[in-house]
Structure 1
Amino acid sequence: MSKLYTRAFSIFAALLIGFTVFSIANATTPEENKAAGIAFLAENAKKPTIKTTPSGLQYEIVTEGAGASPAATDSVTVHYKGTTIDGAEFDSSYSRGAPATFPLNRVIAGWTEGVQLMKEGAKYRFYIPAELAYGTRGAGPKIGPNSALIFDIELIKVE
């Protein structure tokens, strides 16, 4: 039984080492995230429906609104979905089944700038460069450092 245990342990160790090497080899670095974001945004800017602000925030209007536009100091109620540029969803009020309300000046800079362009009832898609998102720190396990992000935002109410 000792030989069986030793063999099983050796196989387990080899698999663990192999998985670790595979994970490290396929890790995305902050530099790779930054380069991918820059390339994505440069290509995205070529689309005729994309508008770009002086800060580098890109957006497209999905549905125009007709209500009030918020100031940075207002609170807003929104439905939203956030994804990385490869399409991986990291947050969604739609998935939770309830809109979110928060002060607009307490979120990432890309949101503060972009949502001010909207009117109540509007739906926009924002393409946010890393420096207007979470920058070099990233956010949690799903948003790496220097990651550009995409948000679909529906402005429900300005308060």
Structure 2
Amino acid sequence: MRVHYTGSLIDGTVFDSSVKTRSAGRIPGKRSNSWLDRSIAINAGWLKWRLTIPQELAYGERGAGASIPPFATLVFEVELLDIL
């Protein structure tokens, strides 16, 4: 799958975005050509997810570089572009 994503802190501070860099991300996986794959492909561009990752499932006390402080809750907005 090809997706656009934006990763931000809970306060809205963006730390990464494929939209900003104009380089869609890829999610590897095996194609099954199932009815689900086809229905997702038809809806590409419509399907959007907002994922909230609590700090204990994200980087916890160590954080990640200068962009993600310790104990940060992360928010990802993901839009399906197409299925490859």
Q: TM-score, normalised by structure 1?
A: 0.39
RMSD across aligned C-alpha pairs, in angstroms? 2.0
* Counterpart position of 2:52: 127
The structure whose Rg is larger is: 1
Q: Could you list the per-position Cα deviations for residues 38-93 of structure 1 after superposition, in whole angstroms to 9, with x for gaps in the alignment?
A: xxxxxxxxxxxxxxxxxxxxxxxxxxxxxxxxxxxxxx321001110111110000
Report 1 or 2 for greater relative contact order, CA contacts < 8 Å, sequence distance ≥ 6: 2
Give the Cα separation in 2 of the matches to 1:139 and 1:78: 23
Q: Give the strand-richer structure, 1 or 2.
A: 2
> Secondary structure of the equivalent of 1:141?
coil
Q: Is the counterpart of residue 97 in structure 1 residue 1 in structure 2?
A: no
Alignment of 1:100-111 (within 5 A): 100-103=25-28
Q: Is the counterpart of residue 139 in structure 1 residue 64 in structure 2?
A: yes
Give the Cα separation in 2 of the matches to 1:158 and 1:140: 32
Give the Cα separation in 2 of the matches to 1:133 and 1:80: 16
Q: TM-score, normalised by structure 2?
A: 0.69
